[in-house]
A and B are shown apart, each in its own frame.
Chain A
């Protein structure tokens, strides 16, 4: 039993010897893992040429040419993914795998229940106790077996280089195709007489579009040359975006409920606001193509900003501030429920706030609903101040002071209206109403019978889980009938009553 006489230091050396090759294997495994990631980069590697190709094909009909020299493409495509992988690969090669990690891998592989890793920890102790020494000896007896049984696995994936090579070839082919497409892409050239000409340009004049951009455009292509519908749409959107922006923003700021209109109502309102203005279809400039959506976005952003500033300017209405007016955000008139006619959206010359109109209408409706004509609450004057002081501390006389005394400050409302619960008492909602219409569609579908699958019975296995709640068994109807008929027959035969 020479093994039993070994000191912990000797066992430590043996464990290190055992761990070294495994650590090397693990390091190789890390390198291999990074190599596998190269395979995962096939997609990103191909993404650049594919995106380039797609963009080139997309922009070619518009006359925009993406031109990059082929060698730039070749250089740009793999440089980022491969550079990242190479960096990680280099790091993996330099990474040192600790003995404890290697021994843990051996334990896991040979199912040694952490014996090696535990022994490796205990041999480092200065004064191990009996059980720790016993654990070291226990591991020591298994070192030889572990050394013999350590599995050697193939660490290199043979498919990796082949797949990478294929990916490289595919990327190269795509790049070549992309360069072909870019070079022979049709470029739109504007002729002096205003007609649009499409020409296939040779590789040499590829720079022509760039020159075209710098040239003053004598007569840019007009929207009439396109399809009428598109032209009208573009003119509408451009005019709306350019001209509508300030007026529409201010108007919407005044009437935030208008944001809850339907698309048709908005279109009608937009048309109304542009009434009297000449169409600028023929005034489209060279910035007609690309700046259009930007301008649209800009006007929309302006609109939002205007709404926001309006909201910020508006003091937050307390719930009682609109009481008695019978309107506000809590009005029963839902912007989505009521049909918005176009005439409601027409802005009159006197710049009357449409919200006020709605409020007056609401008040009239509510006064009618209360069963009688009542004075308009909005027309009521605030109550007089009953403060006895003629003047405040500042010495200035108050306008409404009449010396009658009483609580200061105007009352929000008075009279019966404040007692009637029917008066709408809106909460403060600092949001805008529903921006669009909602539509609910109900379909009536006849139920269809379907054939269910038959369920096969299963054998009852041993229980290992909690039982759960068991319901009491109920007699089925035929059994109840059976019992009933049994007792009835007994009664007929003169049996026990």
Chain B
């Protein structure tokens, strides 16, 4: 294949990605009003092969957003409402004693809701750490192990979890190991004033719009390969590394706020996540390579849940977003 053909294939793949991305987005937006940034981030996680955590107060449409994406993309969808009394077997599945035709009995494995493709983990922080940890293997290894049985999960596999930051009584904050497995953590805010009218019209008029399947799991997997083939120049790579290292206390790139108020910085997994999310953003912006602008744009969503502010920082009202803001201002793109 000569250079021109290579370029044409790349341009065609990139165009196809943009088309599918836009189709899914348009379809979801028929039902979901506003929250475009949240929708973009959720689709970024879907195409990058990661998981996403949506955090926001009740009534902002987090669950509806995930359900809409599940309907727009023709993939198996399941919803788990986490409760404090939920056990790992409730979400992974368990052996159930079944009656056979001959009158005997045998143990049959009944898959839980985790065995799906797009999993909505609603109010994930209401489950006990024991149940939360049952998600770890599924999120990282794309498989679940129950007894001696290991089940490979169907790709594309994506966990979209929601969390309510207000009602913290009776909840179990997610451990760092599990938070790190989420590609992004998205803060869902209130809609804009002008979006309220459309919300009222669409949800109280008695006509609920139907969401059509505009993509498939096969197409999503193909587009994931396209995402992975987006090149990252040295400039962007070093910038991402410097950003992540800059958010680690005691490092050479760390600003003062990190050294003072951060107890745990992002892990190397944050660099991987930055790269993947930036690749998706580069494609949606019509570019063929990652730029430092892409990294800056996704830095908040990717690094927010990987930065643990220490006690002094919490007392002073320092948030992870504030830390990232200072790191972005402090760390400049390197000169290659």
Contacts and interface: CB of A to CB of B under 8 A. Distances in A.
Interface of A: 4-5, 7, 98, 100-101, 104, 113-115, 117-118, 121-122, 128-135, 137-138, 462-470
B192 interface: yes
Contacts of B57: 463, 467
Interface string B149-183: 00000000000000001101000000000000000
Given A113-B287, A121-B234, A465-B187, A101 B193 contact: no
Interface residues of B, number: 40
Given A113-B287, A463-B190, A131 B231 contact: yes
B214 to A, nearest CB: 25
Given A133-B3, A137-B7, A122 B289 contact: yes
Contacts of A465: 187, 189, 321
B6 A466 contact: no
B166 A467 contact: yes
Is chain A's interface secondary structure helix, strand, loop, or mixed overall? helix
B115 interface: no
6 contacts: A117-B233, A121-B233, A121-B234, A129-B6, A131-B14, A463-B190
Interface in B244-299: 285, 287-289, 291-294
A104 B233 contact: no
A138 B287 contact: yes
B333 interface: yes
A469 B168 contact: yes
Contacts of A137: 7
A70 B321 CA distance: 61
A97 to B, nearest CB: 10
B288 A131 contact: yes
Contacts of B292: 114
B84 interface: no
B288 A138 contact: yes
A85 B9 CA distance: 55
A115 B288 CA distance: 9
B10 A468 contact: no
A78 to B, nearest CB: 34
A129 B6 CA distance: 7
B4 A4 contact: yes
Interface string B188-231: 01111100000000000000000000000000000000000111
B99 interface: no
Interface in B56-77: 56-57
A462 B321 CA distance: 18
Given A104-B333, A114-B235, A132-B289, A464 B189 contact: yes
A98 B235 CA distance: 14
B10 A131 contact: yes
Given A104-B235, A121-B234, A467-B166, A131 B289 contact: yes
B123 interface: no
A39 B183 CA distance: 50
B10 A117 contact: no
A467 B229 contact: no
Contact of B187 (A122, A130, A132, A464): A464
B222 to A, nearest CB: 15
A131 B13 CA distance: 10
A121 B232 CA distance: 10
B122 interface: no
B11 interface: yes
A105 to B, nearest CB: 10
A117 B165 CA distance: 42
Most B Cβ at <10 Å: residue of A134, A463, A469? A134
Nearest to B294: A113
Contacts of A4: 4, 7
A118 B191 CA distance: 37
A134 B7 contact: yes
Contacts of A470: 166
Contacts of B293: 113-114
Contact of A135 (B4, B285, B288, B335): B288
Given A115-B287, A121-B234, A130 B168 contact: no
Interface in B1-34: 3-4, 6-7, 9-11, 13-14
Given A4-B7, A121-B234, A129-B231, 10 more contacts: A113-B285, A113-B287, A114-B236, A114-B289, A132-B231, A135-B289, A137-B7, A462-B191, A462-B192, A464-B189
Contacts of B230: 131
Contacts of B289: 114, 118, 122, 131-132, 135
Contacts of A130: 6-7, 9-10, 13, 229
A175 to B, nearest CB: 43
B14 A468 contact: no
A133 B5 CA distance: 10
A468 B236 contact: no
Contacts of A114: 233, 235-236, 289, 291-293
Contact of B288 (A7, A134, A464): A134
B165 A100 contact: no
Interface string B295-336: 000000000000000000000000001000000000001011
A114 B234 CA distance: 11
A81 to B, nearest CB: 29
Contact of A133 (B6, B192, B229, B335): B6
A5 B3 CA distance: 9
B193 A462 contact: yes
Nearest to A108: B333
A135 B287 contact: yes
Per CB-CB distance, the 3 closest pairs between chain A and chain B, nearest first, are A130-B10, A463-B190, A130-B6
Nearest to B295: A114
A149 to B, nearest CB: 18
B234 A133 contact: no
Contacts of A464: 187, 189-190
B171 to A, nearest CB: 12
A131 B288 CA distance: 6
Contact of B291 (A7, A115, A462): A115
Contact of B189 (A101, A115, A128, A462): A462
B235 A118 contact: yes
Contacts of B288: 131-132, 134-135, 138
A96 to B, nearest CB: 13
Given A131-B231, A468-B165, A463 B189 contact: yes
A135 B279 CA distance: 13
Given A4-B4, A100-B335, A113-B285, A466 B187 contact: yes
Nearest to B279: A131
A469 B187 CA distance: 16
Most B Cβ at <10 Å: residue of A101, A130, A470? A130
